[in-house]
């Protein structure tokens, strides 16, 4: 099920990233010490009153070239208009209405998209009077908020969520493997789609999503039904999309959320860049089965060690996705293409695997007896038992005496022991600790 999308738009220095962090409940939008280099996350997920949604912080979108500040703001707003179901338009109570605010408001008004006007920096009661000026922008009642103090965020989310469309129900049967092809521009995603389908394809229909705007292609191979979700077909072409690498992450978001398996397509000729990590990281955080697909392998100069060296580089660059297999192929020549779908089938199966409770507990207790948890100030973590509570991804709950004593390194040790018995190739494995008395 694809979550509806809220985008935060506004000129610089109105506090977009602060509000973004407040909404998603984490400090993800952080600027590094190096000038001009951000490690901010322009996308995240939130939930309000039981309604999940994705959030885009357009302030994190940098446009190449020297187009001037107004041009930059317009392009960011254009992205938001294209991507979002509801837009939070942020302005600054201290500054009042500026020319840039007027410019953005005209674009948003013409778009017809639902807009919630958020007046930031309403840090005290005196500032509340300043919000009335913003009625002039024509978006109804402004919501006074303070990013610094966190006030008014609930009212803002009430207004934004009320304007969201309902989440889309998935229209495919459970036995269909939904495969998203994700990756930065020009890695060959569309070519790979065409190569996979080939001349023998059995297409039920080409489904153009109404709000998700992806191209879904159902097909069947060797008795297994699939749906390819092609992010390359999601949006119109244009300067704004070609001049920001971060846009490819935004395009991948909805596709990943709907997929069972994410094919992370890497350009074998160019190698790995930072953007590949952003896109892969989103698949990992969403708990999706994943496969690294190194495309354009036909044009890579190679010897008998090249493939192993490239895979080693992937392992070094994607330490957090040690579980994901790597497939080398060429969509153009179809070399090694036959290896891909069997790997997709395998990781989809692992993603949905459930370990019987008694077997899981045998693994955990053996691991504890071999390597007992370390002590902390005379206290020792006691592991009582474990049970798998979910699949897609496999999620394991471990009942212990003191959950806060479960160090991440010991949790990783237990995960490795579980994977030694059940590899779970291609899927993340989630472990959570809970106090034994909390189980009821």
Question: Residue 157's pLDDT is what?
Answer: 96
The candidate with the shortest Cα–Cα distance to 343, out of 279, 284, 262, is 262
Say if residue 296 carries a ligand binding annotation: yes
Say if residue 362 carries a ligand binding annotation: no
Question: Residue 113's pLDDT is what?
Answer: 93
Say if residue 378 carries a ligand binding annotation: no
User: Quick one: tokens of 106?
Assistant: 């005209």
Say if residue 234 carries a ligand binding annotation: yes
Say if residue 154 carries a ligand binding annotation: no
Say if residue 304 carries a ligand binding annotation: no
Say if residue 189 carries a ligand binding annotation: yes
Residues of the chain with pLDDT under 50: 28-39, 65-66, 199-213, 233-238, 438-440
Question: Residue 39's pLDDT is what?
Answer: 41
Say if residue 236 carries a ligand binding annotation: no
Say if residue 15 carries a ligand binding annotation: yes
The candidate with the shortest Cα–Cα distance to 122, out of 21, 6, 15, is 15
Which own/partner pairs from 224-228 qualify as long-range (CB within 8 Å, at least 24 positions apart)?
A: 224/177, 224/341, 224/345, 225/173, 225/175, 225/176, 225/177, 226/176, 226/177, 226/178, 226/179, 226/341, 226/344, 227/172, 227/176, 227/177, 227/178, 227/179, 228/179, 228/181, 228/193, 228/196, 228/197
Q: Where are the beta strands (DSSP E) in 134-176?
A: 143-144
CB atoms within 10 A of CB 43: 22
Question: Residue 54's pLDDT is what?
Answer: 87
CA distance 155 to 227: 39
Say if residue 34 carries a ligand binding annotation: no
Instruction: For each of the domains in the chain, give its residue range(s) and CATH number, in order of start.
Output: 5-162 (3.40.50.300), 177-350 (3.40.50.300), 357-439 (3.30.300.20)
Residue 378 three-state SS: coil
Say if residue 147 carries a ligand binding annotation: no
The candidate with the shortest Cα–Cα distance to 286, out of 6, 45, 17, is 45
| Structural contact between residues 238 and 79, judged by C-beta atoms closer than 8 angstroms | no
The candidate with the shortest Cα–Cα distance to 10, out of 117, 160, 166, is 117
Say if residue 416 carries a ligand binding annotation: no
| Structural contact between residues 398 and 431, judged by C-beta atoms closer than 8 angstroms | yes
Say if residue 346 carries a ligand binding annotation: no
Say if residue 16 carries a ligand binding annotation: yes
Say if residue 325 carries a ligand binding annotation: no
Say if residue 392 carries a ligand binding annotation: no
Say if residue 120 carries a ligand binding annotation: yes
| Structural contact between residues 30 and 43, judged by C-beta atoms closer than 8 angstroms | no
Say if residue 244 carries a ligand binding annotation: no
Say if residue 130 carries a ligand binding annotation: no
Say if residue 384 carries a ligand binding annotation: no
Say if residue 403 carries a ligand binding annotation: no
User: Is beta strand 375-376 parallel, antiparallel or unpaired with respect to 383-390?
Assistant: unpaired
Please list, residue by residue across 91-100, b when 16 or more beta carbons sit within 10 angstroms of its beta carbon and e when fewer do: bbbeeeeeeb
Q: pTM (2 decimals)?
A: 0.76
CA distance 109 to 102: 10
Residue range 292-314, pLDDT digits in tens: 999 999 989 888 899 999 999 99
Say if residue 121 carries a ligand binding annotation: yes
Say if residue 209 carries a ligand binding annotation: no
Say if residue 259 carries a ligand binding annotation: no
Say if residue 271 carries a ligand binding annotation: no
Say if residue 64 carries a ligand binding annotation: no
Element (H, E) at 300: none
User: Quick one: tokens of 18?
Assistant: 């602060």
The string of DSSP letters for 45-104 reads: EEEETTEEEEEEEGGG---SS---HHHHHHHHHHHHHHH-SEEEEEEETTT-S-HHHHHH
Say if residue 161 carries a ligand binding annotation: no
Surface-to-core class of residue 314, CB atoms within 10 Å of its CB (0-12 exposed, 13-18 middle, 19+ buried):
buried
Say if residue 67 carries a ligand binding annotation: no
Residue range 215-271, pLDDT digits in tens: 678 889 999 999 988 765 444 444 555 555 556 566 677 788 889 999 999 999 888
Say if residue 12 carries a ligand binding annotation: yes
CA distance 266 to 186: 9
């Amino acid at each position: 099920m694809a979550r509806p999308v809220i985008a935060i738009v506004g000129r610089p220095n109105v506090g977009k990233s602060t509000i973004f962090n407040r909404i998603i409940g984490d400090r993800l939008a952080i600027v590094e010490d190096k000038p001009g280099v951000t490690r901010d996350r322009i996308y995240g997920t939130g939930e309000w009153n039981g309604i999940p949604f994705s959030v885009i912080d357009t302030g994190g979108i940098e446009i190449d070239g020297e187009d001037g500040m107004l041009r930059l703001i317009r392009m960011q707003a254009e992205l938001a208009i294209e991507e979002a179901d509801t837009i939070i338009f942020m302005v600054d109570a201290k500054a009042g209405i500026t020319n840039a605010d007027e410019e953005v408001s005209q674009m948003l008004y013409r778009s017809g998209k639902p807009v919630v006007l958020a007046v930031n920096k309403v840090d005290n009661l005196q500032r509340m009077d300043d919000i009335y000026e913003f009625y002039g922008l024509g978006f109804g009642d402004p919501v006074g908020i303070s990013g610094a103090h966190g006030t008014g965020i609930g009212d803002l989310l009430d207004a934004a969520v009320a304007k969201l469309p309902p989440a889309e129900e998935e229209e495919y049967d459970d036995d269909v493997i939904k495969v998203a092809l994700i990756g930065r521009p020009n890695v060959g995603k569309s070519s790979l789609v065409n190569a996979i389908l080939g001349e023998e394809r059995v297409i039920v229909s080409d489904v153009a999503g109404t709000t998700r705007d992806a191209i879904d292609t159902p097909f069947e191979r060797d008795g297994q039904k699939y749906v390819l979700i092609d992010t390359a077909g999601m949006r119109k072409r244009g300067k704004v999309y070609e001049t920001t690498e971060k846009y490819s992450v935004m395009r991948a978001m909805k596709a990943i959320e709907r997929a069972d398996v994410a094919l992370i397509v890497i350009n074998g000729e160019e190698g790995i860049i930072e953007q590949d990590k952003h896109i892969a990281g989103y698949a990992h955080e969403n708990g999706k089965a994943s496969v690294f697909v190194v495309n354009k392998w036909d044009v890579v100069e190679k010897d008998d060690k090249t493939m192993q060296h490239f895979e080693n580089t992937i392992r070094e660059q994607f330490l957090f996705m040690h579980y994901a297999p790597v497939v080398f192929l060429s969509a153009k020549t179809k070399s090694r293409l036959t290896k891909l779908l069997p790997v997709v089938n395998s990781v989809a199966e692992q993603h949905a695997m459930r370990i019987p409770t008694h077997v899981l507990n045998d693994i955990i207790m053996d691991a504890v007896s071999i390597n007992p948890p370390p002590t902390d100030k005379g206290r020792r973590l006691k592991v009582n038992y474990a049970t798998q509570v979910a699949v897609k991804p496999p999620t394991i709950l471990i009942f212990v005496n003191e959950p806060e004593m479960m160090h991440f390194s010991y949790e990783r040790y237990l995960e490795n022991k579980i994977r030694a018995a059940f590899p779970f190739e291609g899927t993340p494995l989630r472990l959570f600790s809970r106090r034994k008395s909390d189980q009821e």
